[in-house]
Each structure stands twice: as C-alpha cells, then as structure tokens.
C-alpha cells in the first residue's frame, strides 16, 4: 500500500526528523499550527525566514523548510531586525522561548516592539528553562518549584501580553497549545500585519516543569489549560496574569500604525529628494 505524505511535509526538513523534543512537549503543536498557517495563507516559502534562539523551541528553525537561523542566546530579535531591514520583502518570524526572549533577550523585545519593527514573534511559554537544567525564569509562577527555586519561586512574573501591549505591539494574542484552531488563526493574522506582532503560546513541559510541580504528564498539563483558560478577547492585558486558577487567552491588541521599515524607507526617499534638489540648486548657481 502506497504511503501517503504528511499534509504539511513540504514545510519540514525531513532529514532533521525525528525531532529532539520530549514526549508530551508542546513544541510540536506550535510547529504544526505555524505550518498550517503558512499553508492556509499559501505563503511562498522562499520569502519566509524563521529565526530562533537557544532553548528547546529554538530547534524549530532547524525543522522548518525555510531559510532559517538558530542564533545565540537572547539574540533572535536582534538578528531578525537585521534580516528584515536588509531585505524588506521577506516575512521574518521569530519563534523562541520565554527565557530566551524575556530574560537575556528582554531588552531587544522591548525596543523592537517600541520601534514597531515589521517582524512576528511567537513565544513558547513553558514557565522554565527546560533545556539547560530546569531553572526558574521570568515567567515562572509564584511558589513554583524549579532547580533554582527549591523553596518555591518568590519572584513576580512577567505578564507577557501586558508587556507586549505596553511596548507598542500592533497585534497581541495569547493561546495555549490546547487552542490549536485559534492559535493558527492568530498566526495567520500576525503574518498579515504590518509591524510588530506578538503571540504567546502557553505550552506544556511535563518532563521538567510538570514533573517538578505535580503535573508529570502532558495530559495533566493540558487538563489544567482546559479548566483554567478563559477566552476574553480585547480585555485589559494588565489584568491577564496567569494563575493556577485562571489563564486569560484571546486577542488583546489589533491596531494599525506604520512600521519602522516603512518610515525608514520614506525617510530615505525624502533625503534622496532633498539631495537632488540641492544638486539642482548648485548647478543653477554655477550657470
């Protein structure tokens, strides 16, 4: 019997499969939703660049059948900025983790959103440094156990959608890996927006975070997502903290404003026109 190809096979580098992700990890779901969004939009893969940093989800750049870059820790947005400004015709997508984007890479995120750079950022938030030893990070919930918080986390956490909105993102959404259809639709929206778009994906990590916090299987973590999630579109992102009893999901921001790239190109045009006018004046004076 002839083996049927996977419907999203063309979006994957088959020579890199099987992947390295743990059983039950949510990263495969995120990759599937991303591939589905590209497929439904019929985007030319030759025009897509995927950039990732260090961490479990960072391997996604090696699995997508696009031009892609696996960059240094905390620097995917900086790298993506250079790619987009060098070739504005490319669709540049950053897919990375909560630690990479908001701990060592936090300053890059803030200013990329402020400048409204025309890139899309998808953050897999699993509440922990899963690849490097299970340390606590900027999204680790209060009282959660990690290898660096053996008595429970006492640090306040980042509310990522509030941060993204406050810094100027034109599109902000949060979903969990349970909300695959909504997540796919959000990725499609983000890919079609001009400016800085941000999607947080609350993702299960049963092997590290889950095992340390009495949710040692993917089923238990997904059950938490199901029971705690509340869809509240365009609610106040400042009130969308993630707690054991509530995960506010939905779209929070969807606005329009000119991107940094567009304003930069317009400025270059004005400078060139001014220079040409000055040259014409010089020629007239010589005459």
- Listed by start position, the domains of the chain span 9-256, 260-287
* 257's tokens: 């404003």
pTM (2 d.p.): 0.95
Per the CB < 8 A criterion, the answer to whether 203 and 177 are in contact is: yes
63, 13 Cβ separation under 8 angstroms = yes
At residue 38, φ and ψ (nearest 5 deg) are: -60, -40
Selected from 3.20.20.140, 3.40.50.970, 3.30.70.360, 3.40.50.720, the CATH number assigned to the domain covering 9-256 reads 3.40.50.970
Residue 265 tokens, joined: 């190109």
> What pLDDT is stored for residue 287 in this prediction?
64
Residue 5, pLDDT score: 81
CA 232 to CA 26: how far, in whole Å?
23
Identify the bridge partners of residue 129 per DSSP, sorted by sequence position: 135
Backbone angles phi, psi at 254, to 5 degrees: -155, 90
Determine the Cα–Cα distance for residues 4 and 164; give it in Å rounded to an integer. Answer: 42
| pLDDT in single tens digits along all 287 residues of the chain | 677 888 888 999 989 988 999 999 999 999 999 999 999 999 999 999 999 999 999 999 999 999 999 999 999 999 999 999 999 999 999 999 999 999 999 999 999 999 999 999 999 999 999 988 999 999 999 999 999 999 999 999 999 999 999 999 999 999 999 999 999 999 999 999 999 999 999 999 999 999 999 999 999 999 999 999 999 999 999 999 999 999 999 999 999 999 999 999 999 999 999 998 888 888 788 76
3-class secondary structure for the chain?
CCCCCCCCHHHECHHHCCCCCCCCCCHHHHHHHHHHHHHHHCCCHHHEEEEECCCCHHHHHHHECCEEEECCCCCHHHHHHHHHHHCCCCEEEEEEEHHHHHHHCHHHHHHHHHHCCCCEEEEEECCCECCCCCECCCCCCCCCCECCECCCCCCCCCCHHHHHHHHCCCEEEEEECCCHHHHHHHHHHHHCCCCCEEEEEECCCHHHHHHHCCCCCHHHHHHHHHHHEEECCCCCHHHCCCECCEEEEEEEEECCCCCHHHHHHHHHHHHHHHHHHHHHHHHHHHC
CB 51 within 8 Å of CB 68: yes
With 0-12 / 13-18 / 19 or more C-beta atoms within 10 angstroms meaning exposed / middle / buried, residue 283 is: exposed
pLDDT of residue 284: 80
CA–CA gap between residue 223 and residue 234 (Å, rounded): 25
């Amino acid at each position: 019997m002839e083996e049927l190809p996977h419907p999203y096979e063309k979006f994957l580098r088959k020579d890199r499969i099987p992947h390295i992700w743990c059983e039950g990890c949510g990263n495969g779901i995120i990759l599937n939703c991303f591939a589905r969004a590209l497929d439904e939009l019929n985007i030319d893969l030759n025009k897509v660049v995927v950039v990732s940093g260090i961490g479990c989800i960072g391997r996604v750049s090696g699995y997508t059948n696009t031009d892609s870059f696996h960059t240094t820790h905390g620097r995917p947005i900086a790298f993506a900025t250079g790619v987009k400004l060098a070739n504005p015709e490319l669709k540049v997508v950053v897919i990375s983790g909560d630690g990479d984007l908001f701990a060592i890479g936090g300053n890059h995120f803030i200013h990329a959103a402020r400048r409204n750079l025309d890139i899309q950022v998808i953050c897999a938030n699993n509440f922990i440094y899963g690849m490097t030893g299970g340390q606590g990070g900027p999204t680790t919930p209060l009282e959660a156990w990690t290898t660096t918080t053996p008595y429970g986390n006492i640090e306040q956490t980042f509310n990522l959608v509030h941060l993204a909105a406050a810094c100027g993102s034109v599109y902000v959404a949060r979903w969990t890996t349970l909300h695959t259809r909504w997540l796919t639709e959000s990725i499609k929206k983000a890919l079609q927006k001009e400016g800085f778009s941000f999607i947080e994906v609350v993702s299960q990590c049963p092997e590290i975070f889950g095992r340390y916090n009495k949710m040692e299987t993917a089923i238990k973590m997904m059950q938490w997502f199901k029971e705690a999630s509340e869809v509240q579109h365009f609610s106040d992102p400042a009130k969308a903290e993630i707690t054991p009893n509530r995960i506010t999901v939905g779209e929070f921001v969807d606005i329009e404003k000119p991107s940094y790239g567009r304003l930069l190109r317009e400025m270059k045009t004005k400078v060139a026109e001014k220079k040409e006018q000055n040259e014409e004046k010089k020629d007239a004076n010589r005459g």
